[in-house]
Copies of this chain bind each other. A is one copy, B any other.
Amino acid sequence: MHAIAFTQNVLSGRWKYFILWYLKDTTRRYSDIKHFLEGISQGSLTNQLRELEQDGVIKRKVYPTVPPKVEYSLTEKGLKLLPVLEMMKAFGKEYIEETEVAEFQK
């Protein structure tokens, strides 16, 4: 049962779900992620990426060029998180619809 706690811990943070979702099927550069998550600050983005990396769900590849280029992608373990995200998305879709209906009926 504590297994849920571990998953929760990996995903704890305001942006991690979206970062993982954005990396779902391809590699992305730091600046792409930043642009995708409009509103996130550099500090927060770096933090979240570091934590995800330490938890072993994403990997970081640095190209020693000028200017620097860093790419992020999911690891094997990260891929195993996708079913969780997909379930969340499925629930969310229904949830939104029901909420909108409820609002409409007021």
Contact = CB atoms under 8 A, between A and B. Distances in A.
Nearest to A12: B14
A20 to B, nearest CB: 9
Contacts of A85: 4
The quantity of this chain's copies bound in the complex is 2
A80 B91 contact: yes
Interface size class of A (residues with CB under 8 A): 20 to 34
Interface in A63-106: 77, 80-81, 83-85, 87-96, 98-99
Interface string A1-25: 1111111101000000110010000
Interface of A: 1-8, 10, 17-18, 21, 56, 77, 80-81, 83-85, 87-96, 98-99
